[in-house]
Chain A
Amino acid sequence: MRKSYGDPIAEDLRFVVKSVVGEENFIDMQPNRSNNFCCGGGGGFLQSGFKDARLEYGRLKDQQIQATKADYCIAGCHNCHAQIHELSEHYGAEYGVVHLWTLICLSLGVLGPKEREYLRDDLKEVNVFHPEME
């Protein structure tokens, strides 16, 4: 987001996230914005076969996320999602990693039981839309 369109557009996305999870539940990682670190899933790294190097690259990102003590990390794309998900398991912190669309629909009350693959137990049963679909 910030790479293609710059920090101002990323600020709009912050507005969306805060509106969805509530201002008090939003924690920016440090450093952030254009100073932030890449997770290591991009540029083809995820498919390059250099797994150990990729997890080592992601150590910084994992530490950043752990330092926020947040329960969930929102990932902006599929590469990030896959990489951060793996970091969460590999380094043992086990925070959830979600797509933004999941949280938007959860907050709107329209997230069905089969659309919750990446929610953890704490949110799996919350405000389920058409639970009979299970």
Chain B
Amino acid sequence: MTDQPIILGSVKKDTFLDKVKELLPDGGNLNLCLTCGACSSGCPATGLENMDPRKFLRMAALGMDEEIKKTNWVWMCTMCQRCIYVCPMQINIPQLVFNARALWPREERPKGILGSCDMALRNESCSAMGTEPEDFKFVVEDVLAEYQEAQPEFADMQAPVDKQGAEFFLNQNSREPVTEPDEMVPLWKILHLAGVDWTYGSKGWGGENYCMFLADDDAWKQITSTSAKQAEDLGCKTFLNTE
């Protein structure tokens, strides 16, 4: 894509970079790049799609918005933030990447992420696998009963859903209840042995949030609010994010 020489015209007003700067505290320091390359040299995504973080930032600074909008690389930066950590100016490149994802028409964003976000919006579980609240509750109760009986040392173990007033609210990655329910048990055992008063919620129990990865802010907020509200309604003091 950038095999062509880069022609510098007068830099446009209201570029993508300008807009992102308005969104971020201190403008994400996006103007302060020294072009030292520390970000790129330690970024595992460097070289993918012929791109790296410094180059991405330079392209944005040069107002190359069309290229920024097109590159698949925005889906290959994991937003791990290592580049911010090593950058002498603490420049927030992952925020730039995140906002570049949002430039894509929603239906053209990667299908896997899009599908998982849409699944989570289907019901109040907010699970990327679309599992209904009743199905989650059924699996938890079923697995718990099996272990209470088969392992009498854990006959008193609990795995409550919607326990009013519990100290901790736990969420749960959907993979376990749906595909490997026995994997939920070790965590329950640890909580039981530690005497922790906890609960899942029938609403907002799904721990994963693909709408965030999709850069769909409204859907991201809807999912997070559903979880937070359920924890609040149950009177839980601490939200334990297990993801």
Binding site for A on B (CB under 8 A): 42, 44-45, 47-49, 72, 75-82, 85-86, 110-113, 116, 147, 150-151, 153-154, 173, 175, 180, 182-183, 185-187, 189-190, 193, 208, 210, 213-214, 243
Contact A117 B180 (CB under 8 A): yes
CA distance A130 to B189 in the complex (A): 14
CA distance A43 to B158 in the complex (A): 33
Residues from chain B with Cβ under 8 Å of A56 in the complex: 47-48
Q: Is A78 an interface residue (CB 8 A)?
A: yes
Contact B79 A43 (CB under 8 A): yes
Contact B78 A42 (CB under 8 A): yes
Q: Nearest chain B CB to A70's CB is how many angstroms away?
A: 20
Q: Is A99 an interface residue (CB 8 A)?
A: yes
Contact B151 A115 (CB under 8 A): no
Contact B186 A105 (CB under 8 A): yes
Contact B210 A47 (CB under 8 A): yes
Contact B186 A37 (CB under 8 A): no
What per-residue 1/0 map shows which CB atoms of A74-87 lie under 8 Å from chain B? 00011000000000
Contact B44 A38 (CB under 8 A): yes
Could you list some 10 contacts between A and B, CB below 8 A? A43-B78, A45-B76, A50-B72, A57-B45, A57-B76, A59-B44, A77-B243, A101-B187, A110-B153, A110-B189
Count the A residues whose beta carbon is within 8 Å of the partner chain — how many?
Answer: 41
Of the candidates B78, B80, B111, B147, the one whose C-beta lies within 8 Å of that of A49 is B111
CA distance A104 to B49 in the complex (A): 41
CA distance A49 to B42 in the complex (A): 24
From residue 32 to 84 of chain A, which have CB atoms closer than 8 A to chain B? 34-38, 40-45, 47-50, 53-54, 56-61, 77-78
A47-B186 contact, Cβ under 8 Å, with A37-B42, A53-B76? no
Q: Assuming A56-B48, A104-B186, what are 7 further A-B pairs, CB within 8 angstroms?
A: A42-B80, A44-B213, A50-B72, A102-B186, A105-B190, A110-B154, A130-B150
CA distance A61 to B80 in the complex (A): 13
Residues from chain B with Cβ under 8 Å of A26 in the complex: none
Residues from chain A with Cβ under 8 Å of B79 in the complex: 42-43
Contact B151 A49 (CB under 8 A): no
Contact A115 B182 (CB under 8 A): yes
CA distance A103 to B44 in the complex (A): 29
Residue from B79, B175, B189 with most neighbouring chain A CB atoms (10 Å): B189
Residues from chain B with Cβ under 8 Å of A110 in the complex: 151, 153-154, 189, 193
Residues from chain A with Cβ under 8 Å of B49 in the complex: 53
Q: Nearest chain A CB to B84's CB is how many angstroms away?
A: 10
Residues from chain B with Cβ under 8 Å of A37 in the complex: 42, 44, 80, 82
Of the candidates B76, B86, B111, B151, the one whose C-beta lies within 8 Å of that of A129 is B151
**Residue in chain B with minimal CB distance to A38:** B80
**Residue in chain B with minimal CB distance to A4:** B241
Residues from chain B with Cβ under 8 Å of A117 in the complex: 180, 182-183
**Residue in chain A with minimal CB distance to B241:** A4
Contact A48 B173 (CB under 8 A): no
Residues from chain B with Cβ under 8 Å of A38 in the complex: 44, 78, 80, 82
Contact B193 A108 (CB under 8 A): yes
Contact A48 B113 (CB under 8 A): yes
Contact B189 A47 (CB under 8 A): no
Of the candidates A34, A54, A60, A78, the one whose C-beta lies within 8 Å of that of B76 is A54
Residues from chain B with Cβ under 8 Å of A105 in the complex: 186, 189-190
**Residue in chain B with minimal CB distance to A106:** B186
CA distance A111 to B186 in the complex (A): 7
Residues from chain A with Cβ under 8 Å of B175 in the complex: 78
